[in-house]
Amino acid sequence: MTMNPEQQRALKDVLDGKNVFITGGAGVGKSYLVNEITEVMRNIGVTAMTGCAALLINGVTLHSYLAIGLAKDPPLKLAQSVRKYKPVYDRILTTETLLIDEVSMMSDELFEKVSP
């Protein structure tokens, strides 16, 4: 399978450091594009909002990747907690790109908590 022009443009935008929102109906090649992105990117966190979605993209849940549990605590407390886990903290610091599948399922509250 080869990428169509829209997929090629999205990949170029990702490589250029731009934020990209990938959307479309079933069978249009979203997962294919995600796999292409993860193959060419270094220091990428591949995450999803659900465990099932994470399995499909060879990733982990966002909560697991960030080691934030249910993320019920305020942002400062979450950050302090993450800093205690050096491997997780180091991974986060070296992540250049964070891919979040099914991001539309993320609450605005969680988005605010995990945004830098």
Tens digit of pLDDT for each residue in 23-55?
A: 888 888 888 899 899 999 999 999 999 999 999
Kindly list the domain boundaries of the chain, sorted by start residue.
5-114
- Rounded to whole angstroms, what are the CA distances from 40 to 8, 9, 44, 61, 106? 13, 14, 10, 21, 26
Q: Is the pLDDT of residue 116 over 90?
A: no
pLDDT of amino acid 84: 93
CA distance 50 to 96: 22
Single-letter amino acid, residue 15: L
CA distance 2 to 112: 36
Burial class (CB in 10 A: 0-12, 13-18, 19+), 103: middle
pLDDT of amino acid 36: 92
pTM for this predicted structure: 0.86
pLDDT digits (tens, 9 = 90+) for 51-110: 999 998 899 999 999 999 999 999 999 999 999 999 999 999 999 999 999 999 999 999
